[in-house]
Amino acid sequence: MKSISELTDFYYKKLHPVLEELDKNRERVKKRVITIGIIYTLIAALLFFSLLDYMNIEFIVFSLVGYVALGGILYRFLISDYRDEFKEKVIRPLIEEIDSSFHYIPDLHVDVEYFNRSYLFPSPDRYSGNDLVKGKIDGVDLTFSDLHAEKEHRDSKGRRSYSTIFKGLFIISDFHKNFKGKTVVLPDTAQSTFGDLIGSFLQANNFSRSGDLVKMDSPEFEKEFVVYGSDQIEARYILTHTLMEKILHYRKHSGHPVYVSFRGRNIYMAIEYNKDLFEPSIFNSLLEYKIAMEYIKTLHLSIGIVEELKLNQKIWSKHG
Amino acid sequence: MSTPLIIAIVIGIILVLMYNSLVSKKNQVENIFASIDTQLKKRYDLIPNLVASVGKYMEHEKSILQEVTKLRAEANKPNISDEEKIHLDAKVTSALGSIMVAVENYPELKANENVMHLQRSLNEVEEQISAARRAYNQAVTDYNNAIEMIPTNFMASAMSYTRKEVFEIPDTQRQNVNVKELFNS
């Protein structure tokens, strides 16, 4: 697999003419967004103040929410062409540069069935995503996409609202061992928030999780993660010392909370980002190093999981 | 309800909870040990095959092969204690490790399909045993903690529960020896 520096080289050397062209486009879109944004705000403010005398507090809140929501839709509409062009001309070549066998479908996402099968999060009421990548690396199947899963809430007046269950990158890959049960690795929030004593009590009595608490024999891993499993031995069969080290390394590398589960014949990984990945920002230049690096690093991290976990080991009894 | 009665009920509940938790910890240890036993048996079943496949070639390692066969026979004796099983396991692990390393010196063996298959199976069983050992050690630690810590220690001594021994995990397995290297070198 190509290294981050090779990909950065590719970004700047091979994509440069395209990027320059695209960046001019971005400037035009940015100007349009700012102009229309100002006009939109002025009209909204005019309407707001002319109706102010007739408004109660609820109506004021409602109109503010409406202003933001409509603004968001307007923004997405204004940048949609630029966004499509950015994905085709920047993200697609980058993915294909990593491995030409990868398929990139900007508008699709990982199916909700896989999300539920991972057992990492409660099943969502609203589910969306994009930037689906599918392919094989070293003979190992790999699929990932951006996801946003939400839960619906209703208040006493029947009004609906949504809270985020998960937002970020979701990765599915083959795993090289055979196992029957399920093992789930979650960020250890209880122990880091409440300390060892209360934290471990809360972990052991977490009724929202199926399976038992599995205490791992690696203090470093235990500090960062909590493991639940349907089978104490199987959980340790999957999570060897080497794999624990690799997951820890992956966690440090990503810099974001990491959720891992093993089920069926797959490993599922969810990396929380709390933002839409691979989306262009029209307020930052495409030629800025930091912005480019973020796309490259995220892609490298998603695809690099196969190498990181050495999923292509052929020494195991499991074949194919 | 009178106060002494309430106190008596609360104490009763606490005693029952303590008793149940100790029994469940002891059963967990036994339960996991049974899984180790199954895996150990699987490994012992592979040994005659392995010895037969490599024996023809390994002239210099005859003594290790004999040692492994002897250990297998000992482990298969009826009525051996858990402690003996633990000690035999450590010896077999180290002897099998030496055989696997020795295989590297024989190109004919490295190319032999049967030996390759045996190595894969053995590797799989070793992983399972290693996982079971780690699970067992955790269960024993929980159990030992319970019988030594206040207040469950009083109950444990009344039930005449004693400390149990943990498996010593070989250093090579702590680092998870990369068997792939053995194959490729």
Of the candidates A146, A142, A149, A162, the residue with the CA atom closest to the CA atom of residue A116: A149
d(CA B182, CA B180): 5
- The residue among A190 and A46 whose pLDDT is bigger is A46
B183 contact A CB<8A: yes
DSSP H or E segment with residue A117: helix A112-117
Residue A122 to chain B, least CA–CA distance (Å) = 28
Q: What's the mean pLDDT in B134-139?
A: 92
In chain B, what is the straight-line distance between the N-terminal and C-terminal CA atoms, in Å? Answer: 78
Of the candidates A276, A258, A275, the residue with the CA atom closest to the CA atom of residue A267: A258
Give the pLDDT of residue A313. 63
Q: Is the pLDDT of residue A142 over 80?
A: yes
Q: Is the pLDDT of residue A159 over 70?
A: yes
> Are A317 and B139 an interchain contact pair (Cβ–Cβ within 8 Å)?
no
**Which band of pLDDT confidence, cut at 50, 70 and 90, is reported for residue B184?**
very low
Give the pLDDT of residue A197. 63
Provide the token pair at B129.
């045993």
Which phi-psi region, left, alpha or beta, contains residue B37 (left: φ > 0; alpha: ψ -120 to 50)?
A: alpha
d(CA B41, CA B44): 5
> Are B135 and A215 an interchain contact pair (Cβ–Cβ within 8 Å)?
no
Of the candidates B72, B101, B81, B170, the residue with the CA atom closest to the CA atom of residue B129: B170
> Are B124 and A313 an interchain contact pair (Cβ–Cβ within 8 Å)?
no
- The residue among A184 and B182 whose pLDDT is bigger is A184
Give the pLDDT of residue B183. 43
Give the pLDDT of residue B53. 84
* Position A85, amino acid: E
> Are A313 and B180 an interchain contact pair (Cβ–Cβ within 8 Å)?
yes
Question: Are A82 and A25 within 8 A, CB to CB?
Answer: yes
Q: What is the mean pLDDT of chain B?
A: 84
**Which band of pLDDT confidence, cut at 50, 70 and 90, is reported for residue A40?**
very high
Count how many pairs of residues, chain A against chain B, have C-beta atoms within 8 Å: 49
Q: pLDDT tens digit string along B85-120?
A: 888 888 888 888 888 888 888 888 878 888 888 888
Q: Which is it for the CA torsion A70, A71, A75, A78, positive or negative?
A: positive
Contact list in A for residue B175 (CB cut-off 8 A) is: 241
Peptide bond into B151 cis (omega under 30): yes
Chain B residue with minimum CA distance to A233? B132
Quote the pTM value. Answer: 0.82
**Which band of pLDDT confidence, cut at 50, 70 and 90, is reported for residue B171?**
low
Question: Are B29 and B82 within 8 A, CB to CB?
Answer: no
Contact list in B for residue A233 (CB cut-off 8 A) is: 32, 35, 128, 131-132, 135
What percent of chain B has a predicted confidence (pLDDT) above 90? 23
Q: What are phi and psi of A205, to 5 degrees?
A: -115, 35
What percent of chain A has a predicted confidence (pLDDT) above 70? 91
Give the pLDDT of residue A54. 78
Of the candidates A210, A268, A209, A207, the residue with the CA atom closest to the CA atom of residue A238: A268
> What ranges in A52-111 are assigned the alpha helix state H?
57-86, 92-98
* Position A191, amino acid: Q
Q: Is the pLDDT of residue B177 over 60?
A: no
A242 contact B CB<8A: yes
Q: pLDDT tens digit string along A200-254?
A: 666 666 656 667 899 998 889 999 999 999 999 999 999 988 889 889 988 988 8
Contact list in B for residue A237 (CB cut-off 8 A) is: 127-128, 130-131
3-state secondary structure string across B133-152:
HHHHHHHHHHHHHHHHCCCH
Please give the biggest Cα pair distance in chain B: 84
d(CA A194, CA A146): 32
What percent of chain A has a predicted confidence (pLDDT) above 90? 42
> Are B124 and A317 an interchain contact pair (Cβ–Cβ within 8 Å)?
yes
Give the pLDDT of residue A206. 65
> Are A233 and B35 an interchain contact pair (Cβ–Cβ within 8 Å)?
yes
B125 contact A CB<8A: no
d(CA A190, CA A187): 9
> Are B176 and A232 an interchain contact pair (Cβ–Cβ within 8 Å)?
no
* Cα three-residue angle B36-B37-B43, rounded to 5 degrees: 90
**Best residue in B115, B134, B136 for a mutation probing chain A (most A CBs within 10 Å):** B134
* Position B180, amino acid: K
Give the pLDDT of residue B170. 61
Whole-number Cα distances in Å, B7 to A102, A164, B10, B18, B155: 69, 47, 5, 16, 19
d(CA A253, CA A250): 5
Question: Are A22 and A307 within 8 A, CB to CB?
Answer: no
Lowest mean pLDDT segment, chosen from A162-176, A304-318, B152-166: A304-318
Give the position of tokens 């619906």: A152
Give the pLDDT of residue A312. 63
A313 contact B CB<8A: yes
d(CA A121, CA A123): 6
d(CA B17, CA A38): 68
> Which residues touch B39 (CB under 8 Å, ≥6 apart)?
B125, B128, B129, B132
- Specify which residues A259 forms β-bridges with: A270
